[in-house]
Amino acid sequence: MKTIVTMGRGGTGKTSFVALMAKYLIAHRKTPLLLVDADPDQNLAEMVGVDLEASGRKTIAELLSETFIERGGTTVGVAPSKRIENRIWELGLYEGGDFDLFAVGTKWVEGCYCLPDAALKNALSAITKQYAYVLIDSPGGLEHLNRKIASSVEIIIDVMGPSSKSFAHVKRAHRVIREVGITFDNFYVVGGNGFPDGLDARAECETGLPYLGKIEYDQEVAGAVLAGRSLLEIPEGSAGYRSVGGLVELVL
Ligand SMILES: Nc1ncnc2c1ncn2[C@@H]1O[C@H](COP(=O)(O)OP(=O)(O)OP(=O)(O)O)[C@@H](O)[C@H]1O
Ligand SMILES: [Mg+2]
């Protein structure tokens, strides 16, 4: 199993990148594939053409709250991690033909986090083990790292924006991830669609991390996102998709 997590400042193109990576993995039969939307703002589903609410799916946060707060959170009987795992399979997971998807959501459990957090950690690792590839889309910034949706991943990719702050962000992200105890095999940097050309050497030198290349600006991608259309449907030949395919090949 390979888990790939995107990171980066707000608006650098993380979610579109995940959607295009999904398109590439599906096209190359790198399945079963699980997509995880860890952004409370939740727009990964839309970018891959899924309406979670209309398909009656609940977010992990909603399920945690129902399972451990509204239902009393007893530790007797079925183990807490098994209880939440069952509910995620049953009520949280969207199952599609090419990929499955769930959203983490916003409503977090208040009060003691220990039981739900530990239960969720075990449940998520049991669930993700069923897939060959797991793509996790993070919100912008670093705050979400405290939630530790995944504590051990293979690949982290920081998508850099055009601002000089992106360089500092990468270094901070790399440090904070290790501080919160998330383990990973490889940490890569890519340029988002707004990242200037010709800064490859600088990106690598300033961040001290391997720079893989750039996601090309693509009118098809921008148009699809604006119209709320699935990025899985954009043409194979589109520059944005082709550039993402090249990056995925490097990573895998
Ligand atoms: N390859 C691309 N070519 C052109 N426009 C793009 C491309 N990738 C993303 N965009 C545009 O950039 C904007 C931000 O993209 P996206 O939502 O993927 O960023 P994000 O990093 O996930 O943002 P957030 O931090 O808010 O989650 C969108 O309007 C999208 O249309
Ligand atoms: Mg996003």
Give a yes or no: residue 126 inside a domain.
no
Q: Give the residue, by CA position, lying nearest to ligand 1 atom 2.
A: 217
What is the CA(36)–ligand 1 centre distance, in A? Answer: 17
Buried b vs exposed e over 30-53: b needs ≥16 C-beta within 10 Å? beebbbbbbbbebbbbbbbebebe
pLDDT at residue 111, as a whole number: 58
Give a yes or no: residue 82 inside a domain.
no
pLDDT at residue 79, as a whole number: 86
User: Over pLDDT 90: what percentage of the chain?
Assistant: 67
Q: Which residues of the chain have pLDDT under 70?
A: 72-76, 107-114
Give a yes or no: residue 127 inside a domain.
no
Give a yes or no: residue 236 inside a domain.
yes
- Mention every residue, 6+ apart, whose C-beta is less than 8 A from residue 50: 94, 96, 101
pLDDT at residue 18, as a whole number: 98
The residue segments making up the domain with residue 174 are 2-54+92-105+132-251
What is the CA(116)–ligand 1 centre distance, in A? Answer: 32
Residue with tokens 């739900």: 116
Q: How far apart are CA 132 and CA 74, in angstroms?
A: 34
From 15, 35, 38, 31, select the one nearest 215 (Cα to Cα). 15
Give a yes or no: residue 81 inside a domain.
no
Instruction: Give strand pairing partners of 35.
Output: 101, 135
What is the CA(197)–ligand 1 centre distance, in A? Answer: 18
Q: Give the residue, by CA position, lying nearest to ligand 1 atom 26.
A: 11
Sign of the dihedral defined by the CA atoms of residues 145, 147, 152, 155, in that order: negative
Number of domains in the chain: 1
**For residue 30, what is the domain's CATH number?**
3.40.50.300
